[in-house]
Amino acid sequence: MRKEVIGNATLYLGDCLDVLPTLGPVDAVITDPPYGQRQNTNVVGKGGTRAYSIHDKRRKAAGGLHSTGIATRFPDTIHGDDRPFDPAPWVAAAPVVVLWGAHKFYSRLPDGGGWLLWDKVPTGKVRDQGDGEAAWINQNRPLRIYRLLWDGVCVGSAARHEVTAGQQRVHPTQKPEALMRWCIEQAGKPSVIFDPYMGGGSTGVAAMQLGLQFVGAEIEPVYFDIACERIENAQRQERLFA
Ligand SMILES: C[S@@+](CC[C@H](N)C(=O)[O-])C[C@H]1O[C@@H](n2cnc3c(N)ncnc32)[C@H](O)[C@@H]1O
C-alpha cells in the first residue's frame, strides 16, 4: 500500500478494504464504486489524450509501457466491475454515506435513506447510454436533482456545457467536478471525506475546491497517479485564487 500526503489530502494506492481498518474516523464516505457493469474501458479518444500522455511519460521514463504521443487508452477493465457491488462495509463506515450508482444495488442497501439524482441530459438529447445516475444517501430527506450535461468521452470539447468545458477526460467513468461539489454540499459539507473508490480523484478535487479534507483510495496505479496530480493541481489553484 502506497500513501501520499498532498496538503489536505491523504491518498492510498491499494485495496480500500485494506485501507478502511487503518483509518481514523472520517465524517463522510462519498464514493462511486464499480458495480458489475463489465464495461470495456479500452476507449481511445480525444478526451483521453492529456491524462494518458502524463501517464505514458511517467511509464516511459520508468522503462514501462507504450507511449503513442497522441491517443492512448485506458486499462481494458475497471477493477471489481465484473461482479455486483457489496455496500455492506460502507453503509456504517461514517456518519454520512453517499453511494453513486446505487440504483444498481438498491436491494442490498438498508431500508430508509434518500436519493440524489444526476440528470445527464437536461437538453433532452437522445443518447444510447443512460440519461442519469442515482446516489443513495443515508439521510431520510427529499430527493434532489442536479442537471448537468455530460457526454463522457467528449468531455472537454468545445461543444460541451459551460460547467464541464475544459475538463479533461481522465477516467472512463469520471464524475464531473461540479456534480461532486453539489453532492458534497448536499451531504452537509462534511469536514473529512473518504472516497474509497476514487478513480481519477473527482471527489478529491471537489473537496479541495470546497476547502475540505480528503482521504482517497484507488487500486489501479494509472488512476492513482492521475488522482494525485489532479488533487495537487486543485490545491494549487485554490491557493492562487485565495
Ligand atoms: C467508478 S470508478 C470511480 C471514478 C471516479 N468517480 C472518478 O470521477 O474518476 C471506481 C474506481 O474504483 C477503483 N477500485 C475498484 N475496486 C477497488 C478497491 N477494492 N479498492 C480501491 N479502488 C478500487 C477502480 O479502479 C476505479 O478506478
pLDDT digits (tens), the chain, 242 positions? 999 999 999 999 999 999 999 999 999 999 999 998 877 666 544 444 444 444 455 555 554 433 333 334 677 788 999 999 999 999 999 999 999 999 999 999 999 999 999 998 877 777 667 889 999 999 999 999 999 887 654 444 444 444 555 566 778 888 999 999 999 999 999 999 999 999 999 999 999 999 999 999 999 998 999 999 999 999 999 888 87
Q: How far does the centroid of ligand 1 lie from the alpha carbon of residue 162, in Å?
A: 27
CA of 82 to the centre of ligand 1 (A): 13
pLDDT digits 0-9 by tens, 14-54: 999 999 999 999 999 999 999 988 776 665 444 444 444 44
> Does the beta carbon of 218 sit less than 6 angstroms from any atom of ligand 1?
yes
Q: What atom in ligand 1 is closest to the CA of residue 81?
A: 15
In this prediction the pTM is: 0.87
Long-range contacts of 223-227 (CB under 8 A, 24+ apart): 223/170, 223/171, 223/198, 223/199, 224/2, 224/11, 224/13, 225/54, 225/55, 225/58, 226/51, 226/54, 226/55, 226/170, 226/171, 226/200, 226/201, 227/11, 227/198, 227/199, 227/200, 227/201
| Position in ligand 1 atom list of the atom nearest CA 220 | 25
Helix (H) or strand (E) holding 132: strand 132-137
Please, which residues have CB within 8 angstroms of residue 158's CB and are 6 or more apart in sequence? 165
Does ligand 1 come within 6 angstroms of the Cβ of 74? Answer: no
Dihedral angle of Cα 18, 102, 209, 94, to the nearest 10 degrees: -50
